[in-house]
């Protein structure tokens, strides 16, 4: 055998060896179990009870969230008042506040009530670092809007 033929045979043998060791031989791949069936000695498919990546949760009641629910729907009065007051500056900031029944904040050193309120941008963009701050005179249903604005958390 000449050198060229020997080299070709050696390379071919090496490729076959690598393919056999890695499982890339000419045999058909072993199918994995289906996400929707399980075989237990017979050929009757049994539905799977575990969710799959393609399963989507079924909404219980289709509804569109309101940016400002009415007072009569069981909404806590303080939560509705805070939403209404903090919304006064939202349009100037280019945002719409997302109502929350549990707004939280703290009393500042000057006695005002400081909140960070959830929102969405009116133009649809997102910024994970943007924060909407709202300041009210206090944390009661008689409080008044003082100021609000956007800040950045980084």
What is the DSSP annotation of 103-134? Answer: --EEE-TTSPEEEEE-EEETTS---TTEEEEE
Domain residue ranges in the chain: 75-152
| Lowest mean per-residue pLDDT among 1-15, 66-80, 111-125 | 1-15
pTM comes to 0.52
Q: What was the pLDDT predicted at 153?
A: 85
Residue scoring higher pLDDT (3 or 51) = 3
The C-alpha atoms of residue 103 and residue 80 are separated, in whole angstroms, by 9
Residue-wise pLDDT tens digits, 107-117: 999 999 999 99
Query: Residue 80 pLDDT more than 50?
Result: yes
- Give the mean model confidence (pLDDT) for residues 74-85: 90
Average of per-residue pLDDT across 71-91: 86
CB 145 within 8 A of CB 81: no
pLDDT at residue 141 is higher than 50: yes
Beta bridge partners of 111: none
Q: pLDDT tens digits, residue range 92-131?
A: 999 999 999 999 899 999 999 999 999 999 999 999 999 9
């Amino acid at each position: 055998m000449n050198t060229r033929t020997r080299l070709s045979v050696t390379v071919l043998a090496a490729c076959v060896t690598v393919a056999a060791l890695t499982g890339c031989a000419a045999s058909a791949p072993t199918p994995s179990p289906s996400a929707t069936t399980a075989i237990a000695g017979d050929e009757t498919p049994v539905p799977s009870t575990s969710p799959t990546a393609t399963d989507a949760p079924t909404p219980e009641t289709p509804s569109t969230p309101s940016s400002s629910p009415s007072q009569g729907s069981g909404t806590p009065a303080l939560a509705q008042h805070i939403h209404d007051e903090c919304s006064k500056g939202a349009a100037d900031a280019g945002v719409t506040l997302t109502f929350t029944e549990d707004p939280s904040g703290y009393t500042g050193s000057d006695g005002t009530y400081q909140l960070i309120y959830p929102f969405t941008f009116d133009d649809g963009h997102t910024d994970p670092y943007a924060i909407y701050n709202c300041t009210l005179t206090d944390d009661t249903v008689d409080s008044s809007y003082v100021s609000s604005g956007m800040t950045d958390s980084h």
